[in-house]
Amino acid sequence: MTNKPSVYFDYAATTPCDASVLKAMEPYWNECFGNPHSRSHAYGWDAESAVERARTQVAWAINAQSDEVIFTSGATEANNLAIKGFVLGPNMPKNKKKILTFATEHKCVIESFRFLKSMGFEVKILPVLSNGLVDLDMLENELDDAAFLSIMYINNETGVVQDIGAISKMCRAKGVCLHVDAAQAVGKIPVNARDVDLLSISGHKLYGPKGIGALFVSKSPRVRIASLFSGGGQERGMRSGTLPTVLCVGLGAAVELTLERMKEDFERAQHFQQQVIDQVINKLPEVYINGAIDSKIPHILNISVPYVEGESLIMRMHEFALSSGSACTSKSLEPSHVIRAMHPDNEDLAHSSLRVCFGRQTKAEDVDALIRALQKHIEELRSLSPLWSMVQKGIDLKTINWQAH
Amino acid sequence: MIYLDSAATCALDERSKNKMLEVWNQWACGKFANIGGVYKSAERSARYLNELRGALKDITVGEYVVFTSSSSEANSMVFNHANKIITTCWEHPSLTKHPKATFVQFDKLKDELKNGPAVVSLVGIHHEIGSVRDIRVIYDLCKQYHSKLHIDASQMKSFDMQYADFMTISSHKIGGPIGVAALVTKEPMKAIIFGGMQEDGMRAGTNALPLIAGFVEALQVLKENAGYAEQFKLLNALLRKNIDERYFLETYAKDIVFCNHIVCLVTKFPASEIAAFMDMHDIAVAVGSACTSGALDGMKILNSIHQLPDELKNGVRLSFGPNTTEEEIIIFSQKFNQFVSRK
Amino acid sequence: MAYSKEVLEHFNNPKNVGEMDENAQDTGVSIVGAPACGDVLQFSVKIEDDRIKDAKFKAFGCGSAIASSSYLTQKVIGKTLEEAAQISNKSIAQALALPPIKWHCSVLAQEAIKGAIENYKKKQA
């Protein structure tokens, strides 16, 4: 393998920090909130104003007030804080013990719910439809005696977009606190925090720096959460720890930039996604999109290539940075829980899935090369596959008595 | 400006900053990528993180290293992990506000330990008055009573796990970036942030590789400079040469050992006046009072033990950094003397 | 996954890909694994004078699974049934320098050759 960097198609995992964001951060390396040790810099703002300006940038992006935004080290922490903070906090209704989330949520959400289950709360992890969308009628029933719901706006593996507007209305009507993980949503689609009570944001998912994120905590209606860390009581007591001025500035700049680029990024992604759909999904036999095509963003495309295992496809396409839901590509050797939740009767699809993400740096010739590689390797790996040859012969794989190991 | 507040935050070391920018730029051209991925650039990142972790283990001689977002978080991890915590009112707010903590006077520590095994949590060097704990003695005491010792080493300049079970190291106090810290331990820790399997399941969340790289670089710079020990000794001696000893807090607490790089001076003038004066002369220091809460609660506590004379209940804390020069100390001394001699 | 040169060679240029007629008297065919586990190996051998004259494989699985099967086809050609049945999964794993997390692929390959031999023997009975 050469030392050339991989052609990057894994933007949902992380994005590179935009050069203009690093530039915006430049004057603030030595700034410390509450510490006036560096007064000479180009913009004339001290640490405090810089952080407050960044806070406002983040707030405006999601239609919130700046005092409703607190900085965290990332979306993982924001999710942990929102979920554990609300359920173990002063606003959790004393008479309700039921809290809800979905099987397709990010691990940090599911683990937080598992923890709360061990603390005696009634946790329900709800299924989704095979296209990844939530069954709104089912949800409406479940909300009846629930206190809290956590859901991702846009799924990081499939790009499926949930109907937060409708879900929000249901939650408001039934007095359920709604937390939305918007890590993949901010900067890709308009996000309105007024619809929700708590909302998580990740810096490194929108061309900002790693190590910073934010949590929106609604003030009207007022939501209160307990903190995760004890300490100096920063962020109005909700999140202790010295604020990393330079990272906050980076997050603010990244959010502002990503809003400016939202439409252009969307259209480019749509164009690239359509190319892959036309030349791979619609051209090759039995290649499918995982996720509701009419309710997903084009930046994330998850495809299933039945009868071909995900890791083998990625390995053949080693000059591209991609990810797969196959067990072999995960540290835990478990196949993607998201794809499994969408197809509980057909676990094979998780092993055969591939995620392609289009980002700001994606070039047309990269997509062309990707398409050519997909066409070539899918065909070759299928010719290697006993499952493919059985299917070609008309054998129904479900009738086979597999000797599992 | 003369910056004498490194205990609050230390100026970002140039090498640390360059290292971070290097990692960020390499990310942009695809050389580094998210550690969870299966592609080359992801593996490169994973290897690099292992190297960084290994470097920190070497520097501290610790067994486990968890990178967190701040020392508050690292301390919170220790508190969550322990069944019982013993601490004193001297410690940093991130240690004292926890519901599981039992507070004792430092000299009553042994009595409390007799009540059963616990994790004793202390700062190694006090962030406000610069007093130094004899970690070795405390560690031996803990072991005698089957207990463990957690040291918040934020203000320390060398880190050795020989006499600690858990140690918190703060990046921005030693010239690294804000937004990252480390908890070094001898046992695997229970997580407080759940999710993916980063940090071996001890702390979920995408590793902020550029920040970690900057942090470890800063630690290496510190080590290469032997914690600036000689430099701080010199600056401290220079300060004493130029300011009368009656203004030094140490003079009234002879039984305490103080470090060289954090010095508390005491005067009768209100903290606000000192602040205004120093600000006017573009000198950054911390001020506080033994009577009111504020930046230097440590003064309050010291006063409760050592009864400072009435006219010396207000204080100025100076803390030295790698960039503090002799000239700056001389100018500060002149200004300080000017201030205290005027009324 | 940082694979060895050997694995990459077998993975990128797999040897002896194909299948044999399982109804023929002189073949032994087996399928091991399950799609739900992410690994399915189909192994076929053609026997002549008690020796494996030819071997073919098809695999649905990760790089290690494909490499293990490809390697095994090369290894068994020319061997007697007894010799082929003796090939240990450990030897496959070692020859390909498989990381421990992938050793189960070599186990599966060993099960595949054993199954193919059994299938042949059953037909002779």
Per-residue pLDDT at B342: 78
Whether the per-residue pLDDT at A237 is higher than 90: the answer is no
Q: Residue B195 and residue A111: Cβ atoms within 8 Å?
A: yes
Q: Please report which confidence band the pLDDT of residue A229 belongs to, taking 50, 70 and 90 as the band edges.
A: confident
CA distance C13 to C72: 14
Q: Does A15 touch chain B (CB under 8 A)?
A: no
The topology under which CATH files domain A261-391 is Aspartate Aminotransferase, domain 1 (3.90.1150)
Q: Is A301 helix (H, G, I), strand (E, B) or coil?
A: strand
Helical (H) or strand (E) element with A95:
none
State the average pLDDT over residues A246-270: 96
Burial of A291 (0-12, 13-18, 19+ CB in 10 A): buried
Q: Please report which confidence band the pLDDT of residue A44 belongs to, taking 50, 70 and 90 as the band edges.
A: very low
Per-residue pLDDT at A38: 42
Question: A-chain residues within 8 Å CB-CB of C66?
Answer: 312, 384
CA distance C20 to C28: 8
Which pLDDT tens digit goes with each residue over B167-189? 999 999 999 999 999 999 999 99
Whether the per-residue pLDDT at B289 is higher than 90: the answer is no
State the average pLDDT over residues A295-314: 93
Helical (H) or strand (E) element with B153:
none
CA distance A355 to C35: 20
> Could you say which of A17, A177, A328, A357 is catalytic?
A328
CA triple A321-A374-C41, angle to 5 deg? 95
Tokens 């091991």 belong to: C32
- A231: nearest CB among B24, B42, B72: B72
Q: Does C38 touch chain A (CB under 8 A)?
A: yes
Whether the per-residue pLDDT at A292 is higher than 90: the answer is yes
Q: Which two tokens stand for residue A401?
A: 């008595």
CA distance C72 to C60: 15
Question: A-chain residues within 8 Å CB-CB of B29?
Answer: 5
State the average pLDDT over residues B252-258: 88
Question: Comparing A186-200, A231-245, B235-249, C33-47, which segment has the lowest mean pLDDT?
Answer: A231-245
Three-class secondary structure assignment of B224-282: HCHHHHHHHHHHHHHHHHHCCHHHEHHHHCCCCCECCCEEEEEECCCHHHHHHHHHHCC
Q: Does A232 touch chain B (CB under 8 A)?
A: yes
Chain A interface test: which of B10, B190, B193, B297 (most A C-beta within 10 Å) = B193
C62 flagged as catalytic: no
Per-residue pLDDT at B96: 59
Whether the per-residue pLDDT at B153 is higher than 80: the answer is yes
State the average pLDDT over residues B41-70: 92
CB A6 within 8 A of CB B33: yes
State the average pLDDT over residues B152-157: 94
Whether the per-residue pLDDT at B221 is higher than 90: the answer is yes
State the average pLDDT over residues A103-114: 94
State the average pLDDT over residues B216-237: 95
Of the CATH numbers 3.30.70.270, 3.40.50.300, 3.40.50.2000, 3.40.640.10, which one belongs to the domain with range A19-257? 3.40.640.10
CB A250 within 8 A of CB A262: no
Q: Residue B24 and residue A39: Cβ atoms within 8 Å?
A: no
State the average pLDDT over residues B72-79: 92
Whether the per-residue pLDDT at A3 is higher than 90: the answer is no
Per-residue pLDDT at B301: 67
Per-residue pLDDT at B279: 83
Q: Residue A384 and residue C11: Cβ atoms within 8 Å?
A: no
Question: A-chain residues within 8 Å CB-CB of B68?
Answer: 73
Q: Directed axis angle between helix B229-242 and helix B326-341, to 10°?
A: 30
Q: Please report which confidence band the pLDDT of residue A33 belongs to, taking 50, 70 and 90 as the band edges.
A: low
Question: Comparing A109-118, B19-28, B255-264, which segment has the lowest mean pLDDT?
Answer: B19-28
CA distance A126 to A172: 19
Whether the per-residue pLDDT at C50 is higher than 90: the answer is no
Helical (H) or strand (E) element with A288:
strand A288-289
Which pLDDT tens digit goes with each residue over A54-80? 999 999 999 999 999 999 999 999 999
Whether the per-residue pLDDT at A43 is higher than 70: the answer is no
Per-residue pLDDT at A357: 95
In chain A, residues under CATH classification 3.90.1150.10 are 261-391
Per-residue pLDDT at A360: 94
* Chain mean pLDDT for chain B: 88
In chain A, residues under CATH classification 3.40.640.10 are 19-257
Which pLDDT tens digit goes with each residue over A367-383? 999 999 999 999 999 99
CA triple B185-B187-B192, angle to 5 deg? 80
Per-residue pLDDT at A39: 41
Rounded to two decimals, the ipTM of the complex is 0.91
CB A324 within 8 A of CB A353: yes
Q: Using CA coordinates, name the residue in chain B closest to A18.
A: B28
Q: Residue C40 and residue A404: Cβ atoms within 8 Å?
A: no
Question: Comparing A8-22, A159-173, B81-95, which segment has the lowest mean pLDDT?
Answer: B81-95
Per-residue pLDDT at B26: 81
Whether the per-residue pLDDT at A405 is higher than 60: the answer is no
Rg from Cα positions in chain B: 21
Whether the per-residue pLDDT at B36 is higher than 80: the answer is no
- C62: nearest CB among A307, A311, A348: A311
For B141, residues 6+ apart whose C-beta sits below 8 A from its C-beta are B109, B110, B113
Q: Please report which confidence band the pLDDT of residue A329 belongs to, taking 50, 70 and 90 as the band edges.
A: low
**Sheet with B314-319: strands ordered across:** B262-267, B314-319, B286-289
Whether the per-residue pLDDT at B65 is higher than 50: the answer is yes
